[in-house]
Structure 1
Amino acid sequence: MTLNIGWIGCGRHATQMLMPQLGRNDLRVAAVCDVNAEAASRAAWQYGAEAVYSDYRDLIAHKGLDAIGMAVGPDLHHAASIEALKRGLPVFLEKPPAKSAAAAAEIAAASEHFGKPVLVGFMKRYSTGNRIAGNYLKGGDFGDVLGISGTYMTAPTYFAGEVDYTGFYLHHCVHYMDLIPWLAGADFADLALRKNEPKPGHLLFHLNFECSNGVIGTVIMGTVQSRGTPMEFLQIMGDHVRLEVDNVINVACYRDPPFKADDPAATLSSSADTLSWTPNFTAAANEDHKGYNALIADVAAALKGDSSSAPDIKDGVRAMTNLERMISLI
């Protein structure tokens, strides 16, 4: 079944990361909207939209739409999603869903009131390595998660001109406010934070946490690294087993093998030695390791009323609540 979707926001992120996945998942771009007329016209040509708008309200009123998608600012996410819900249209929002937890909760209330889903673009759950790790945890062989440590950095140039770090918090840090509880299987219960800020715009902090199920850990985030180098690493600790995800594409599961150096008969054991996976970038395959296509596949299922594990606005409220708790400690 193909759905007609109206899309709000035709910037680089939308047109290069999100919109290419729509047609792959039977979502036809029927209309687009952007205050930048050139960007909107270019997106309409690229994705075959029949109508172009500069006002999101006009797009939402476009006849024949089955759903609304958007990748704009958090204030417009809030206003446009509630307007779409009032018209009976389900919604996909890029993260963050709103500027505050309270505003995200208003979207959640509207979603429940009008009986239409709102899905949120937490694609870190779908990045190849994270998805493999998540599936392995759910499979039962890993056992209980005891601790999680993660590093997720960016550079000061990415948020130039925002030395209050608002953009950094909303567009970067919010990812791990969703991902870590998802991997842990429970929300944050206790948080503590230490920071180092050598100069304005340059921030490094360590966020220590304990989840409500006892999982402990540390998340390291900041704006003091180059975006030209790998900046993301996860380690999930169990009892004599750990999962490591490097740069969202390399996965290793370290188990409990015997020492081999003094064993002349030593070999490799499928039940004890390290399991590892890394993608083959020379393969002629359209692989999406950041996770956008896998996310939109689940979003499309939810928009069609099918069973789906896509993150929804309740996840968005939780992530924004966690983010505000974190910011209060900085």
Structure 2
Amino acid sequence: MAAAKTARIAFIGAGTHATESLYPNIPQIPEFELVAVCDLDANKAEYWARRYGARAFTEAQAMLDEVGPAGVCVVGPPEMHYEVGLQVLERGIPVFIEKPPAPTLAGAQELAEGARAAGTWGMVGFMKRFAPANVVAKEYMASGEFQRLSSITLIHSAGPYEDLRRMLMFNGIHMIDLSRYFGGEVVELFAYAFEAEPGLRTVSVALSFADGAVGQLNLNSGQHWRDCFEQVYISGAGAGILIDASRTVEVMAAGRRFAACDGLELYGWSGRYYVSGNMAGWAAGGHYTRGYWGELARFARAVAGLEPPAPTIEDGVAAMRLIDAIIESATTGRPLKV
């Protein structure tokens, strides 16, 4: 059997999110060959490089010069995504950057332009697109049974945030991206925002999509970080999809009914997909079910030329544009064309 095609990939950033949510996926991705780890903290770089059999660096440019990776992952604060991401792209190297892709919309646009100018591409870490429950929902939406999208409602509740922009950029951006993943381009929105008390912020956004469908995005920081809440409900024509925390997906449609139920007054029928508590191994863990494995596998396969990259930096630009529009609408009290 021929060996799997691999991509030599370097990782810049060895902080908590990178090492707890992303690095553990690498051994499970045949196409991902980790060749270098770079972090300003030499101890972190050396520890994680040794653990994954890679070389350690504390300076990104030196790492790029010496290792010459085929792709680079950049995971840290948004300022780092922007600054280091540009340095990587300028060399013509594909880059995976975590969300948000930059501190500002202008910065995200500069990254997209940098990729185009260098003849390369970039991906943004919208991992919820790769959560199996969301992939199943997207597949069903493309079926004839679902027909066309009519509406979508997205809800997310997390822990406290200092201000609305931070809440949207660091957490809400996932649901904003899912609205586009499921609904397509947003052409108009109207946002209401409310601060009940310091740290407790809410925003409710009415969405209008290019194909005529409508949506509602409800985000708040009224819970605590140990128990976030997330649900998505998608309506078609004669069918609906309920996704709970990107872990389970339930399809409600006449075609899902498994018994005639003659003579019985029964309402509601569905087909449900979920991650079983009886599963063992990799597929039962959060790295897989939340989509972290999927996004890194897609990046490695794209670097290896096996699949197209997605979601791209342009998707990151679109999410940042929606964030700016939500804040402007909430501030001015007016609907806004996007």
Alignment TM-score, normalising by the size of structure 1: 0.90
Checking the alignment, whether the CA contact within 8 Å between 1:153 and 1:223 is kept in structure 2 is yes
| Root mean square deviation of aligned Cα | 2.3
Residue 105 in 1 paired to residue 86 in 2?
no
CA distance in 1, matches of 2:80, 2:309: 25
Match for residue 14 of structure 2 among 4, 7, 10: 10
Residue 28 in 1 paired to residue 45 in 2?
no
* 1:249 CA drift (Å): 1.3
Find the counterpart in structure 2 of residue 308 from structure 1.
Answer: 308
Find the counterpart in structure 2 of residue 180 from structure 1.
Answer: 179
Find the counterpart in structure 2 of residue 213 from structure 1.
Answer: 211
CA distance in 2, matches of 1:35, 1:140: 52
Percentage of identical aligned residues:
27
Find the counterpart in structure 1 of residue 202 from structure 2.
Answer: 204
- Where 1:282 maps in the other structure, the secondary structure is coil
1:213-258 CA distance string (max 9 Å, x none): 1111111101101233350000001222110001211211111489
Checking the alignment, whether the CA contact within 8 Å between 1:96 and 1:316 is kept in structure 2 is yes
Residue 120 in 1 paired to residue 124 in 2?
yes
Judged with a 3 Å threshold, the aligned counterparts in structure 2 of structure 1 residues 241 and 52 are, in CA distance, closer, same or farther, namely: same
Judged with a 3 Å threshold, the aligned counterparts in structure 2 of structure 1 residues 224 and 15 are, in CA distance, closer, same or farther, namely: same
Find the counterpart in structure 2 of residue 278 from structure 1.
Answer: 274
* 1:29 CA drift (Å): 1.9
1:257-268 to structure 2, matched below 5 A, reads: 263-264=262-263
Residue 75 in 1 paired to residue 73 in 2?
no
**One-letter amino acid of the structure 2 residue matched with residue 300 of structure 1:** A
Checking the alignment, whether the CA contact within 8 Å between 1:117 and 1:303 is kept in structure 2 is no
5+ long unaligned stretches in structure 1: none
5+ long unaligned stretches in structure 2: 331-338
CA distance in 1, matches of 2:105, 2:144: 33
Find the counterpart in structure 2 of residue 324 from structure 1.
Answer: 324
Checking the alignment, whether the CA contact within 8 Å between 1:60 and 1:68 is kept in structure 2 is no
* 1:57 CA drift (Å): 2.4
* 1:134 CA drift (Å): 0.8
Find the counterpart in structure 2 of residue 167 from structure 1.
Answer: 166
Find the counterpart in structure 2 of residue 39 from structure 1.
Answer: 44
Alignment TM-score, normalising by the size of structure 2: 0.88
1:288-315 CA distance string (max 9 Å, x none): 1001111112111211223335201111
Match for residue 226 of structure 1 among 208, 224, 227: 224
* 1:265 CA drift (Å): 7.0
Checking the alignment, whether the CA contact within 8 Å between 1:165 and 1:201 is kept in structure 2 is no
